[in-house]
Amino acid sequence: MTGGAPPVRVGIIGASGLAGGDLIRLVVQHPRLRLTFLGGSSSVGRRPSELHPGLRQDLGVSVEAVPDDPDVLAERCDVVFLATPAPASAELAARLADRVPCVIDLSGAFRIRTPALHDRWYPKVSRGPELAERFVYGVPELIGERLAGAPLISLPGCYATAITLGLAPLVLGLGLALRTVVVDGKSGSSGGGLQLRTPDLHPFRSGAIAPYAPTGHRHAAEVGDFLERAEPGRIASLSMSAYGVSHVRGLLTSSYVFTDGDTPDARTLHRAYLRFYKGHRFVRVRRHTETLIPVPDPQAVLGSNYCDIAVEHDPDGDRIVVLAALDNLVKGAAGQAVQALNIRFGLPEEEGLTMQPVMPA
């Protein structure tokens, strides 16, 4: 896309959700995008600022019902974001594919490529195998070339983004064989969306460290499926425990990695991570004690598209510890989606995403 090209026309379906709200925020402040459609069901007729009071009131669009005829959207949009639950995304993607030039899905509907694995973790999400194979999936830093011109894009979940960015230099860069990976993940309440559940009510969430998925988190399966396809046989075992904490935005993953063979020392690991992410402005490789407060810390990335990563070697346990922090609604959802859009349409990858973190928050 050249400097004089018309703006990319953007539609967002799922306007009332938290990820949808951040998508609206990022799209309307992007110099090369124009918001032309907002879709929803329960919020038809409402302005974005009624759903998300932080948005300005004069955006010039209101929520509409999603038209049955996909050609109506194709006439108004160059790209449609699906910020909808996985079952709805699967149905919408089937309707919009081959009609709208680009569909970018933020749900889990098309993340896991292996059919049996998808059916295990998303048993209520029915999708056609041919359609699933057409989706390009992954973190933009790792699949950038495949995003250019792609008509169907599926983005990782928030935890999966942090874990994958944390493990990729070990698997794809150093080529290590990882015998065991154990992930500890802690996320704020916005990770659960707007569903009303008793554990997420303020009297129970405030001050809590709630083990909502001590075993069996689908994002671990997502990471394993992606890395197995990228480098078969490199990870023998990957498991995860997830906890809800009392803050609203942000997550931290701690990946404890045990390798087959010699484990690189801390200096070698840090240099390998710097080398792997050289030129990727949204991944900041940190040293754990380089700042006044220890990093990575979700506080230091809130509101931004950054993922902060630090890697340590524990000689006593002969393990590698990889820490990754990001804002689950930005780098883990809406920001990453706009980043993928930029690459897809030939825009600078950082366009509209240069906002700095808000700290303290």
Same domain assignment for residues 187 and 314:
yes
What is the residue range of 38's domain?
Answer: 8-155+331-344
Same domain assignment for residues 107 and 241:
no
pLDDT more than 90, % of the chain: 86
- Residue 148: its pLDDT value, please? 98
Per-residue pLDDT tens over the stretch 20-38: 999 999 999 999 999 999 9
Per-residue pLDDT tens over the stretch 46-103: 999 999 999 988 899 999 999 999 999 999 999 999 999 999 999 999 999 999 999 9
**Is 117 contained in some domain?**
yes
Per-residue pLDDT tens over the stretch 247-279: 899 999 999 999 998 899 999 999 999 999 999
Same domain assignment for residues 149 and 171:
no
Chain-wide mean pLDDT for the chain? 95
- Residue 196: its pLDDT value, please? 67
Four-CA torsion 179, 323, 311, 117, nearest 10 degrees? 30
**Is 3 contained in some domain?**
no
Long-range contacts of 272-278 (CB under 8 A, 24+ apart): 272/169, 272/170, 272/173, 272/174, 273/169, 273/173, 273/309, 273/311, 275/173, 276/168, 276/169, 276/172, 276/173, 277/141, 277/169, 277/309
CATH number for 307: 3.30.360.10
Q: Is 158 a catalytic residue?
A: yes
**Is 115 contained in some domain?**
yes
Average pLDDT in the 151-155 region? Answer: 99
CATH number for 66: 3.40.50.720
Same domain assignment for residues 101 and 184:
no
Same domain assignment for residues 121 and 173:
no
- Residue 1: its pLDDT value, please? 53
Same domain assignment for residues 220 and 240:
yes
Same domain assignment for residues 273 and 131:
no
DSSP string, 58-115: --S--EEPPPSSHHHHHHH-SEEEE-S-HHHHHHHHHHHTTTSSEEEE-SSTTT--SH
Same domain assignment for residues 44 and 132:
yes
- Residue 58: its pLDDT value, please? 87
Per-residue pLDDT tens over the stretch 273-299: 999 999 999 999 999 888 888 999 999
Average pLDDT in the 107-131 region? Answer: 95
**Is 128 contained in some domain?**
yes
**Is 353 contained in some domain?**
no
**Is 72 contained in some domain?**
yes
- In sequence order, what are the residues at sequence separation of 6 or more whose Cβ sits closer than 8 angstroms to the Cβ of residue 44? 63, 64, 65
**Is 359 contained in some domain?**
no
**Is 1 contained in some domain?**
no
- Residue 360: its pLDDT value, please? 86
Same domain assignment for residues 134 and 171:
no
Reported pTM: 0.95
pLDDT more than 70, % of the chain: 99
Q: Using an 8 Å Cβ cutoff, are 271 and 326 in contact? A: no
Residue whose entry in the numeric block shows the structure tokens 């004690």 = 289
Point out the catalytic residue in the list 77, 102, 158, 307.
Answer: 158
Q: Using an 8 Å Cβ cutoff, are 33 and 77 in contact? A: no
Give the integer Cα–Cα distance in Å for 66 and 72. 9
- Residue 41: its pLDDT value, please? 87
In the chain, the number of structural domains is 2
Same domain assignment for residues 33 and 87:
yes
Same domain assignment for residues 262 and 274:
yes
Same domain assignment for residues 105 and 225:
no
